[in-house]
Amino acid sequence: MQEHDTERPGGAYRLGSRTVARIGYGAMALERFAEDRDAGVALLHRGRDLGVDHVDTADFYGDSTANDVIRRAFGTSDEVVVVSKVGAVRVDAPMPLALAQRPEQLRAQVHANLRGLGRDRIDVVNLRRADVGPGLIAEGEQLVDLDDQLAEMTAMRDEGLIAGIGLSAVSAGALERGLAAGIVCVQNAYSLVAREHEPLLDFCVRHGVAWVPYFPLGGAFPGLPKVVDEPVAARIAAELGVTTAQLGLAWLLGHAPDVLLIPGTSSVAHLEENVAVGTIRPTPEQTAELDAVWDRRDTAEGDTDEVARPRWP
Ligand SMILES: NC(=O)c1ccc[n+]([C@@H]2O[C@H](COP(=O)([O-])OP(=O)(O)OC[C@H]3O[C@@H](n4cnc5c(N)ncnc54)[C@H](OP(=O)(O)O)[C@@H]3O)[C@@H](O)[C@H]2O)c1
């Protein structure tokens, strides 16, 4: 049973060997601060001052920009838990990211993260698989056996380079197989309006593994459903006097005890709104309506959009 700490935004959660607030910060947005890193540092410090002590990053966010801003903000201090990910690298063309799933590539990325963050150990590193979308799906030589990858990840944990291992963009089968390696968190896309991965969330709750959804507001990329466009959520948010985005995050927090939030933003105002969602309490009737949003979308849209809405086996 997780401890509850009302001092931390959203309460407290034991993530690996560290306790964090359930409301953290996703650093993908820090790549927008490449030309004004001090502003990125100020954003992180504002989050820290509000109790945000869990930052999710990657070396490939802005070609190390995000890690550089985190290093400038916190140095080697352990006041925030830093979670990074490996499995892809930045390239110029034809897309900003390419998969890099082979064990030696995972190790090279862990070292790149250590250099960029200026640390000698990373609190948690997610093995960013490419089993499921949205995003890149592994094929060809990038289809690497999970056991080979976890052997490298656990070796790096034994060497002290990383303290905990997570899985991301992972299938249900791979999660079940990987659990024995000591997985502390899972990071798949999930939100009020995109719940294809609900069975994995249930699995995480049963096993006391943190569920740390990416795209918790539905994803800023074109073509993905967005929480702010959901009319039921907008109506209930107005009833509660909060924004639709805030309600979407509050719904996630209330949906399962093992959910941790890492919404990304480049705006101090949005950061402050996101940190405040732990105090939003929809009524049971409102929660039931929000729960039903997915059933309604599922029925309305059927199986017509397989790319955006992958099915679980
Ligand atoms: N494992 C993976 O494969 C993977 C993939 C993608 C992301 N991630 C991680 O997951 C984190 C969270 O993902 P994300 O969807 O939040 O990505 P994101 O790209 O950081 O996008 C969040 C979007 O929501 C907006 N937003 C944030 N707070 C808001 C608010 N209160 N009201 C209105 N709009 C708001 C932001 O715009 P503003 O800047 O204008 O606020 C931004 O455009 C990322 O930062 C990254 O760390 C992991």
Instruction: Give average pLDDT by consecutive 10-residue segment, the chain, 313 residues.
Output: 71 97 98 97 98 98 96 96 97 86 98 98 98 91 96 98 98 97 98 97 98 95 93 98 98 98 98 98 98 81 41 24
pLDDT for the residue numbered 7: 86
Q: Is 188 in the pocket of ligand 1 (CB under 6 A)?
A: no
| Nearest ligand 1 atom, CA 269 | 31
Between CA 163 and CA 50 the distance in angstroms is: 25
Q: Is 128 in the pocket of ligand 1 (CB under 6 A)?
A: yes
pLDDT for the residue numbered 152: 98
Instruction: Centre a 10 Å sphere on the Cβ of residue 96 and count the other Cβ atoms it contains.
Output: 14
pLDDT for the residue numbered 95: 77
Please, are residues 12 and 19 in contact by the beta-carbon 8 Å criterion?
yes
Please, are residues 287 and 50 in contact by the beta-carbon 8 Å criterion?
no
- CA–centroid distance, residue 66 to ligand 1 (Å): 13
Between CA 56 and CA 231 the distance in angstroms is: 30
pLDDT for the residue numbered 6: 61
pLDDT for the residue numbered 300: 65
Ligand 1 atom 6, closest CA: 214
Ligand 1 atom 37, closest CA: 265
pLDDT for the residue numbered 135: 86
The alpha carbon of residue 246 and the mean position of all alpha carbons in its chain are separated, in whole angstroms, by 17
Ligand 1 atom 42, closest CA: 265
Ligand 1 atom 20, closest CA: 264
Q: Is 237 in the pocket of ligand 1 (CB under 6 A)?
A: no
Which helix (H) or strand (E) segment holds residue 186: the answer is strand 183-187
Q: Is 264 in the pocket of ligand 1 (CB under 6 A)?
A: yes
CA atoms lying within 13 Å on the CB side of residue 160? 2
Q: What is the DSSP letter of 95?
A: S
| Nearest ligand 1 atom, CA 212 | 10
Between CA 150 and CA 206 the distance in angstroms is: 22
Cα angle 189-220-118, degrees, rounded to a multiple of 5: 75
Instruction: Centre a 10 Å sphere on the Cβ of residue 120 and count the other Cβ atoms it contains.
Output: 9
Cα angle 26-114-99, degrees, rounded to a multiple of 5: 65
Q: Tokens 């079940």: give the residue.
A: 176
Q: Which of 70, 89, 113, 214 to mutate to test the pocket of ligand 1 (most atoms within 8 A of CB)?
A: 214
pLDDT for the residue numbered 5: 61
Closest of 247, 249, 131 to residue 190, by C-alpha: 249
Sheet harboring 81-86: ordered strands across? 25-26, 54-56, 81-86, 122-128, 162-168, 183-187, 210-211
Which are the contacts of 144, defined by CB distance < 8 A and separation ≥ 6? 101, 102, 103, 138
pLDDT for the residue numbered 310: 32
| Nearest ligand 1 atom, CA 219 | 15
| DSSP-assigned states of every residue in 166-215 | EEES--HHHHHHHGGGTEEEEE-B-BTTB-TTHHHHHHHHHHT-EE--BS
pLDDT for the residue numbered 220: 83
Q: Active-site residue numbers? A: 61
Q: Is 54 in the pocket of ligand 1 (CB under 6 A)?
A: no
How far CA 39 is from CA of 33, 35, 62, 167, 274, in Å, comes to: 7, 9, 15, 31, 18
List the beta bridge partners of residue 87.
none
Q: Which of 217, 221, 230, 275 to mutate to test the pocket of ligand 1 (most atoms within 8 A of CB)?
A: 217
pLDDT for the residue numbered 304: 40
pLDDT for the residue numbered 3: 53
- CA–centroid distance, residue 54 to ligand 1 (Å): 15
Q: What is the DSSP letter of 205?
A: H
Q: What is the pTM of this model?
A: 0.94
Q: Is the peptide bond before 313 cis (omega within 30 degrees of 0)?
A: no
